Amino acid sequence: MRVLVVNAGSSSLKLRVLDESDKVTATADLPAPRGSAEAAAVEAALRSLGDAEAAGYRIVHGGTSFTAPVRVDDAVLAKLRALTDLAPLHQPKSLAAVAAVQRALPGLPGVACFDTAFHATIPAAAATYALPREWRQRWALRRYGFHGLSHSYCSRRAAELAGPGRIVTCHLGAGASLAAVREGVSVDTTMGFTPLEGLVMATRSGSVDPGLVLWLEEHAGTPPAELAATLEHRSGLLGLAGTADMREVVAGAAAGEPDARLALDVYTHRLRAGIAAMTAALGGLDVLVFTGGVGENSPAVRSEAAAGLGFLGVRVDAERNASAANGGDWEIGHAGAPVRSFVIAAREDIEIATQVRAVLGVDGR
């Protein structure tokens, strides 16, 4: 089945057509539609991409309603619109992309694939916040986790390369999260109710003491909207080093710039701690995987993270780590290390296409 993969971000729309062997046969990268002109450009691009037999949509948040991919219909779309408050930056863009496909390619069957669904399996001990029962039940307050499409693909690919076992996947990009995966099932992750929890990211703070945020609101008079904007868009690497680009941070650290060095140290400190926590959730570690823009392209981040994980059995080979596989997958662990370490190219598009075929069947019905 040829699948049109529709990946709507907060500011961009990526379109890919994958054939029956998951080879990309057509692509289009466009700004997210904000008005009629952009919407018309998206629809024109969709009509030019070829004869896909189904569409797969990346949806950031499925809430508690959607824990597996589902065929898109009016009832599903209504439920997705009701979840907008949980992902106000992404959900409207995803729904706009669905609408654009339905206008440009009427009758094309579609499947919603969720970034949260892979983590629906994490146990209650990992998913539950220590909040009053009435709060948790009234507002469905729990740890959802994100980047599930990436973690699902990478953990499955790692099992193909190294065999099944206990795998920690590190999705390191502008957003960043970890997942603990046992025999293909997520048992813990670092993001929570929102994508703000967990690791330091490009512009997101990662985990911060909630008391600090309350203090800023009460004692510094910082409005909630400013707090949210700062934690989401002006923190992370940008807040520490003045740049959200990890390449500039690594170069600055190598040149002795104090802010860049601090940013890299904070980033890798949180990363090492997270990997260790995921390993504890698994009861041990067999495979460590790096993926995403930073995970695939920053040998310095991988080596600095691994340097503090020798006690877990992680040992990165310097020469392997410094090499590149031109977008492919390669092993970077030392040959004698108890834990195997890999770089795996992020391929959410393959994961989405796989889920579409599973829901619709190869004949698209």
Q: What is the 3-state secondary structure (H, E, C) of the chain?
A: CCEEEEEECCCEEEEEEECCCCCEEEEEEEECCCCHHHHHHHHHHHHHCCCCCEEEEEECCCCCCCCCCEECCHHHHHHHHHCHHHCCCCHHHHHHHHHHHHHHCCCCCEEEEECCHHHHHCCHHHHCCCCCHHHHHHHCCCCCCCCHHHHHHHHHHHHHHHCCCEEEEEEECCCEEEEEEECCEEEEECCCCCCCCCCCCCCCCCCCCHHHHHHHHHHCCCCHHHHHHHHHHCCHHHHHHCCCCHHHHHHHHHCCCHHHHHHHHHHHHHHHHHHHHHHHHHCCCCEEEEEHHHHHHCHHHHHHHHHCCHHHCCCECHHHHHCCCCCCCEECECCCCCCEEEECCCCHHHHHHHHHHHHHCCCCC
Give per-residue burial for 335-353: e unless 16+ CB within 10 Å, then b. eebebbbbbbbbbbbbbbb
Exactly one of 19, 51, 85, 115 is catalytic; which is it? Answer: 115
Q: Indicate if 115 belongs to the active site.
A: yes
Residue 328 is which amino acid? Answer: G
State the first-to-last Cα distance of the chain, in angstroms, to the nearest integer: 11
66 close to 117: Cβ distance less than 8 angstroms: yes
Burial tier of 328 (Cβ tally within 10 Å: 0-12, 13-18, 19+):
exposed
Residues counted in the chain: 365
* Catalytic residue numbers, as ranges: 115
